[in-house]
Structure formats: C-alpha cells, structure tokens
Amino acid sequence: MRAVPRFGGAALLAALLLLFLIANRGAYEGYFSGDDLNNLGWTRYGHPAGFVPDLLSLRFYPNNYRPLGHLFYSAMGRTAGLEYRWYVAAIHLLHFVNVGLVWLVARRLGLKAGAATAGALFFAFHMGVFDALWKPMYVFDVLCALLCLLSLLAYAGGRWVISLALLWLAYKAKEVAVMLPAVLMLYEYWFGEKRWRRLAPFFGVSLLFGVQALVAGPEAGTDYLMGVSPEAQRTTLAFYSSQVFLVPYLGLAVAALPVVCRDRRLYFGLAALGLLLVPMLLLPGRLSGAYLYLPLAGAALAFATLAGQSTSVRATALVAGFFVLWIPWNYARLRVNRRATLAAAEESRNYVAALLRHRESLRQTEVFVYDGVPRSLNAWGIQGIVQYLFPPPAKACAAADPCAGKAFETNSFAVLQWDPVRRDLAVLIRERGTPEVSYFQIRDNARQPYWQLEEGWFSWERSFRWIAPYARARMHRPAQAGAFEVVVHVGPDQIRDLGRSALAVLIEGQVIGRREFTAPAVQPVRWDLPAGPPGTVRVEFRVTPEYRPPPHRPALGIPIAAFGFLKE
C-alpha cells in the first residue's frame, strides 16, 4: 500500500471515525440491559476507593467480579446516573483510543502509516463486535483490550515493569487477558532480543489466576462451564469463525494466509487472534460477538500486514476496493442488529420510566414483587434497578418466590406487573383497607390485585396464567354468591403429552368440584356453592397429573384465564 502523506493518515482516520459516529448514532437511543442495571444497583452504595484493594488482590473471583469494570459502573452511576447516552459515549471514546492503539502497534511492528491505517479501520468498523460498541455491559471487553494493547506497546518499548502492571489491570478488567503473556512471548521471539527471563513474571500472573480459576471452577449448570468435547469446539469455532468476516465459517480461511504471505508480522497478528480467542473457544455456553473484540485487534494487525505488502497503485486500489465493499457490508449488519437492540431498549426504558414516575410514592416500600420481565432486563436487571432507585432494605423478588407470599402478609410492598403486549409496566400499591375482589380476570392483568394470588402462580401470558400443580388464592366471597367459576385454557400440547388433566377446587379446605379435561379447550367450569358466610376465603387449585414440558423446570398444572364467585 502506498505511503500516506504526512498527517494524511490521521486526517483520514479522524474522518472515518466521524463516519463511525454518524453510522452508530442509534446507539445513543438505546437503553440499559439487565446486566447494566444489576451492575449499577450493587455498585451504587460503595465508595469507588473500595475497589482499590480488589484491584490489588491476588484472589480469583469465581462470581465474575471484575473490579476495574465494576469501578467503571460505580463511577458512571455517581456521575451520569441513568443518562444512558453518557455510557455509550464512554464506550465509544474507549473504542477510539483502542483504534489508535491498534495503529500504534502496527507502526511498532514496522508497518507504514497507510497500512497501519487500513488495519485500524478494519478494527474500527467491524460489526462482528456490534454489542461491544452499543452496550455498556461489554465495557469489560473494551477495557481489557485497551490495557492489553497498552501492555504490548510498553513491552515492545522495553518498559516491561509498566507492561506487567498493565497486564495485571487488564486481567482485573476481564480474564481473557490471561493469554496475553503468550502473545508477548511470540513478540519476543519474532521481534525482540530473545530475553526470555523477563517474561517469567507475566506467566507468573497468568499461572496465579489460571490455577485458581481451574480449582474454583464455575458452578454446575452455569454458562461458564468449560467445554472441550468435539461438539463444544465445533459450536464455538463455527460461531467465532463466522464473526471474523461476517460470513459463515469464512474466518477459518485466515489459517491459509501464511502460505501466500510469508511475513512474521502476519504470523504475529494471526497468532494473537488465535491465542486471545482460546478462552472463548472453551465456553460453548457463552457465545457473543463482543467477545471477539480483543482477538480482533490481532486480526487487524494481520490485515494491516497484508495491506502493506506492496506499494503499487494496484495494491492501493485493492485495499480501497475492499473497504468500498467492507464498510457497506458492515453497515447492513449494523442495521439488522440495530432494530432488535432498539426494540429491546424501548421495553427496558418503559419499565424504568414507570418506576421513576412512582418513585416518590414507593420510597417506603420494602419489597417489590415483579410479575413478568422484559426480555432485555431479566430477573437480575429488575433486582438491580430496584436496588439502584431505592435504598436498603428494599429488595425485589419474583412473583413465584416464597418471599412474595411473605410480602403479601405485610403492607410494605408493591407489585410490578409487566405487560408484554403493551410493553408497559403497571405499578400496583395496596392501600390499607383495600378489599379483595371476588372475581379475577387474568386478561386484565394491570388492574387486578396480584397479591391475592398467594402461591403457585406463574407469569402472565396475555389471557391466562399457568398455575403449579398446587396453587392458592385469597378471594372475597360476596353474600349472594351462588356458584364458583374457573375458566381454563387447556392447550393441545398438554393433552397430547398427558392425555388428560384433572382439576379440583377447594374453598376453605372443602372440595366444591372436580373436572377432567381430555381435549384442548377454553371453557368455563361452574360448580354450585353450599351455603356459607360472606368474607375473605382461601381458594385452592389442585391439578393432576403434573405437566413438565421441556425446557420448563418447575412442574406446571393447568392454564387459568379467570376464576371467582358468581352471584345467584
């Protein structure tokens, strides 16, 4: 690739970074994920200085605690609060620094400014790492890349003590930095003075944390379990090789590049790509394009080497032609990802906005029972935003958890009912003296007092709720009650799998009726009531046999659309 005039490369890079901001302006319209809110919630009440001992600690944290990244959340939570755009701005600023560091590493390897610029641009616009550029929850990967690149530059400059300190901090950002010593060893082999002793403390750091990680290991059933089976390796290799050029499996073709380009700088870039990707290849349960962010720096160095193989006009035209195709291809990928990301962001924003509207009236609330969760927040996101907005002892618990039933026995609770159809949150606060309803319509989710559903009720699904094989509710029995009605919503899958489903209803421990269902139907079932005094009563539902459709873990009973007392 022909040499770029003085300051020309920097001007070109600045212009294209501006183009990056224009293309990615939609990121500023996004919103926090569940991981973001969880991190903001638990870091809110600690002082940033409290992270310093953890940054210096020799301990491995098996619960994915990463002090440097969580310090970022602590600082941003104190300064930016819930202003999402500032978090994205911070991510983009860090990314721009990393783009510059990729350029500096390429220059350190002896590549000319034009070739280094080509490699940096390949890294800057890569939409295989879309999530890392749009979602603050991947700041751990961006920070780790920043510190690893700085460590490499310091090592190449002979400042190995500084490089070692930067490696330590990189590990405190994310554990993938454990492979950096192997990258430095290859640098020493191909470009250094073969001074192997100074690599010893680097490998010592990796050994220190690596052994602890292997001994502690993740909890069984989590996504962090390592997979070394052929099937697991096929899964991870297929995924990440498809992210390199955004074409299925095309990334595997880079293994053939040393045959056509015999340049140790190419070898180094490809080796860095492979080595830094090793931890991710062992985690088939944790697949994300964002995890390619640091290894992508190695791919960028390999691309810069290819771009610098010739200074002819034809070679320059080929590189320019590549970007003419590459940038629009990445922009097309960006648009696809943008739609899904902004749709999920709208749900999260609506959820948090509703809580903020009710914040003053909820200040004395101790338990928040959440019924239904937006797909982008998850349970830990709900817990995080409650923890962020409301000081201890406030806590959140799922509607099906035992703590919800205990909360309903007090007056210091609120119910957060999420409507996935309207994509809105209803906040229900029980006022003292509020009477129980005598008929419960599941479809009117936002207007029904959920606290009457005491045990065994699952999340709302538009027009019905699943109950467990045993469920209980508290109802008001009116003076003129002559019948009790249950509207069931038996689906074809349940009948196909079980053959039948039987429901028994009890009021105050006395059976009032039974019904067996052998065909799918949405139908009301009514039983006449014996005489009884008006007032609050307990209604029980017992279903046999239990239903366990995969992958549903808790046993299910039957879907119910409505139930309650009918007057004579």
**pLDDT of 357-368, one tens digit each?**
999 888 888 889
Q: Give dist(CA 518, CA 508) in Å, integer.
A: 28
| Contact (CB, 8 A) for 375 and 31 | no
- Specify the pLDDT at position 471: 94
Split at pLDDT 50, 70, 90, the class of 218 is low
DSSP 8-class letter at 91: H
Strongest mean pLDDT among 37-51, 72-86, 231-245, 246-260: 72-86
Split at pLDDT 50, 70, 90, the class of 411 is low
Q: Give dist(CA 399, CA 424) in Å, integer.
A: 17
Query: Pick from 445, 440, 437, 389: which is nearest to 416 by CA?
Result: 445
| Contact (CB, 8 A) for 363 and 393 | no
Q: Give dist(CA 21, CA 162) in Å, integer.
A: 32
- Specify the pLDDT at position 452: 87
Q: Give dist(CA 200, CA 219) in Å, integer.
A: 31
Split at pLDDT 50, 70, 90, the class of 405 is confident
Model pLDDT for residues 57-66, shown as the tens digit of each residue? 988 887 788 9
Calculate mean pLDDT across residues 395-416.
Answer: 79
| Contact (CB, 8 A) for 117 and 15 | no
Q: Give dist(CA 366, CA 103) in Å, integer.
A: 52
| Contact (CB, 8 A) for 294 and 145 | yes
DSSP 8-class letter at 437: P
Model pLDDT for residues 234-270, shown as the tens digit of each residue? 999 999 999 998 899 888 888 888 888 889 999 999 9
| Residue 429: both structure tokens together | 């606060």
* Residue 260 CB coordination number (10 Å): 9
Split at pLDDT 50, 70, 90, the class of 446 is low
- Specify the pLDDT at position 433: 64
Q: Which of 79-88, 187-196, 365-374 has the lowest mean pLDDT?
A: 365-374
Q: Among all chains, which residue has been given the structure tokens 């290859």?
A: 186
Calculate mean pLDDT across residues 391-404.
Answer: 82
Peptide bond into 551 cis (omega under 30): yes
CA–CA–CA angle 200, 206, 211 (5° rounding): 120
Q: Give dist(CA 203, CA 207) in Å, integer.
A: 6
Which residues, 6+ apart, have CB-to-CB distance to 430 below 8 Å? 411, 413, 414, 415, 449, 451
Alpha-carbon separation of residue 142 from 68, 86, 226, 345, 563 (angstroms):
11, 16, 23, 21, 52
Residue 5 in this model has a pLDDT that exceeds 60 = no
- Specify the pLDDT at position 382: 94
Q: Which of 96-100, 241-245, 355-359, 458-462 has the lowest mean pLDDT?
A: 458-462
Question: What residue ranges do the domains of the chain occupy?
Answer: 19-309, 437-568
CA–CA–CA angle 60, 64, 70 (5° rounding): 100
Straight-line distance from the first to the last Cα atom of the chain, in angstroms, rounded to the nearest whole number:
90
| Contact (CB, 8 A) for 408 and 451 | yes
The CATH number of the structural domain formed by 437-568 is: 2.60.120.260
Calculate mean pLDDT across residues 138-162.
Answer: 96
Q: Which of 72-81, 157-166, 450-459 has the lowest mean pLDDT?
A: 450-459
Strand partners, 542: 470, 504
Alpha-carbon separation of residue 324 from 19, 331, 333, 458 (angstroms):
14, 11, 15, 52
Residue 463 in this model has a pLDDT that exceeds 90 = no
Calculate mean pLDDT across residues 451-465.
Answer: 83
| Contact (CB, 8 A) for 502 and 535 | no
How do 413-419 and 367-371 pair as beta strands? Answer: parallel
- Specify the pLDDT at position 220: 53
Helix (H) or strand (E) holding 298: helix 293-307
| Residue 33: both structure tokens together | 């994920």
- Specify the pLDDT at position 95: 96
Residue 3 in this model has a pLDDT that exceeds 60 = no
DSSP 193-230: ---GGGGHHHHHHHHHHHHHHHHH-PPTTSTT----SH
- Specify the pLDDT at position 429: 80
| Residue 330: both structure tokens together | 């990445």
Q: Which of 9-13, 281-285, 398-402, 561-565 has the lowest mean pLDDT?
A: 9-13
Sign of the four-CA dihedral 272, 275, 276, 281:
positive
Residue 485 CA, distance from chain mean position: 42
Model pLDDT for residues 317-329, shown as the tens digit of each residue? 888 888 889 889 9
Taking the CA atoms of the chain, what radius of gyration do you get in angstroms? 29
Helix (H) or strand (E) holding 517: strand 510-517
